[in-house]
């Protein structure tokens, strides 16, 4: 198998963009990625397009990639549509990587795109229900509601002084909140530590012109924001938005042919789905991470920068533990000590992460990889992680009866 390298990437603004359609977002990302890679449409041997909810949102099914790419003159090559919940474009990267590594093509385009914002908030939130087993959705929702009620009762009622806005949240916020409460009970995680993570990510996104949120918030401001589901406040949760991201990958021989010496290698690009945790055993993400580290010939201590799936602040904490950046149960303290902040021992979500850059779900996986590529090639300005040589992207999607619907770990290195 041949080494596969990333030679270009681009990301649109992630934001509520009701006046833009999918074609315009995709064209901006693809045009930018091709320009950044210094390749032309004629060089492409195939394109993989990750998208989750366009069919639900506006009825476009089956040929979503062809619809947007043909418009900009990309045709006559394989165009493969990939849907795998929030890990759709990370999964698209995995498929494209395999074809290049096998020598079937030299250059591939990977595009992630999504429009999620609607002025009908109920429509936007209902999208997320499709990422669960809809036959048992009502049972899941009832269980989560009972869990939150028990938590509130144990706290002596809703004593936080925050107004809940349950009509403006997806069921996944309840799921993350339930996991956070369990972590608090088992390990002593505090709400303030969750706020530290969110505040840190808002600091990072204040330096990112492509982020949906570009304003700093203090720990206290995060703590005192509207409660979504205890212990999560609104500023700890990823927003609804629209956006696209694209990357160009190629074979090692093609990179040499065009003189691209600053082209990080995709040293690992692995996928799995979740499974139940066995007593004393590793969780699904930890097992996947171990395989990725082995494939890349490194360990967690070698990672210089990470982009992880922080749909909420608790998502970042659980991911940093599962990826073995710190010990189980110590994610809150690890963040509180400044380790995951720009300049810390392992900066995490220097883009602002899903919480602050935003989470147009089909675009997130490849957006994370483009962020790593930019850092490893010194293209991000104020938020640059100096000397970064190895980066990790962790993406997740959906909730299946036996665990996460999709998990992805990708490692780039120079």
For the annotated catalytic residues, the residue numbers are: 86, 359
CB atoms within 10 A of CB 363: 35
Q: Which of 175, 193, 209, 213 is nearest to 334 (CA)?
A: 193
Q: Tokens 């989470």, residue?
A: 359
305-307 and 390-400 strand pairing: parallel
User: Both tokens of residue 158?
Assistant: 């809703």
Say how far residue 141 (Cα) sits from the centre of its chain. 24
For residue 7, the number of C-alpha atoms closer than 13 Å in the C-beta half-sphere is 30
The full DSSP string for 273-309 is ---PPPTTSPPHHHHHHHHHHHHHT--GGG-SEEE--
Three-class DSSP category at 238: coil
79-82 and 4-11 strand pairing: unpaired
Name residues whose C-beta falls within 8 Å of residue 292's C-beta, 6 or more positions apart in sequence: 268, 270, 392, 409, 410, 411
Outline where DSSP puts E strands in 17-153: 46-50, 79-82, 107-114
d(CA 212, CA 102): 38
d(CA 17, CA 100): 34
């Amino acid at each position: 198998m041949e080494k596969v390298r990333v030679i270009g990437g681009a990301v649109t603004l992630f934001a509520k963009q009701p006046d833009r359609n999918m074609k315009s977002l995709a064209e901006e990302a693809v045009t930018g990625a091709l320009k950044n890679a210094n390749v032309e449409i004629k060089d492409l041997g195939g394109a993989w397009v990750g998208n989750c909810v366009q069919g639900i949102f506006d009825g476009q099914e089956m040929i979503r990639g062809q619809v947007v790419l043909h418009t900009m003159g990309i045709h006559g090559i394989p165009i493969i549509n990939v849907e795998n919940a929030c890990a759709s474009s990370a999964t698209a990267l995995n498929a494209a990587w395999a074809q290049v590594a096998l020598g079937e093509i030299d250059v591939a385009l990977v595009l992630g795109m999504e429009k999620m914002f609607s002025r009908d908030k109920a429509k936007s939130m209902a999208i997320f229900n499709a990422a669960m087993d809809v036959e048992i959705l009502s049972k899941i929702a009832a269980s989560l509601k009972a869990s939150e009620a028990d938590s509130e009762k144990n706290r002596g009622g809703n004593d936080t002084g925050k107004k809940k806005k349950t009509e403006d949240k997806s069921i996944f916020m309840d799921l993350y909140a339930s996991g956070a409460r369990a972590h608090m009970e088992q390990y002593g995680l505090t709400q303030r530590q969750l706020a530290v993570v969110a505040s840190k990510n808002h600091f990072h996104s204040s330096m990112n012109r492509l982020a949906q949120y570009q304003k700093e918030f203090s720990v206290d401001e995060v703590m005192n924001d509207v409660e979504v589901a205890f212990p999560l406040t609104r500023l700890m949760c990823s927003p609804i938005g629209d956006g696209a991201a694209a990357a160009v990958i190629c074979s090692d021989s093609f990179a040499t042919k065009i003189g691209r010496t600053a082209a990080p290698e995709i040293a690992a690009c692995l996928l799995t789905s979740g499974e139940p945790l066995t007593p004393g055993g590793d969780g699904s993400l930890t097992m996947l991470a171990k395989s990725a580290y082995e494939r890349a010939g490194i360990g967690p201590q070698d990672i210089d920068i990470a982009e992880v799936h922080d749909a909420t602040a608790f998502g970042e904490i659980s991911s940093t533990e599962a990826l073995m950046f710190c010990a189980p149960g110590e994610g809150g303290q690890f963040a509180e000590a400044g380790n995951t902040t720009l300049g810390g021992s392992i900066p995490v979500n220097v883009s602002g992460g899903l919480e602050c850059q935003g989470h147009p779900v089909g675009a997130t996986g490849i957006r994370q990889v483009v962020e790593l590529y930019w850092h490893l090639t010194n293209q991000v300005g104020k938020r640059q992680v100096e000397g970064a040589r190895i980066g990790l992207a962790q993406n997740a999607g959906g909730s299946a009866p036996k665990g996460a619907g999709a998990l992805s770990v990708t490692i780039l290195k120079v």
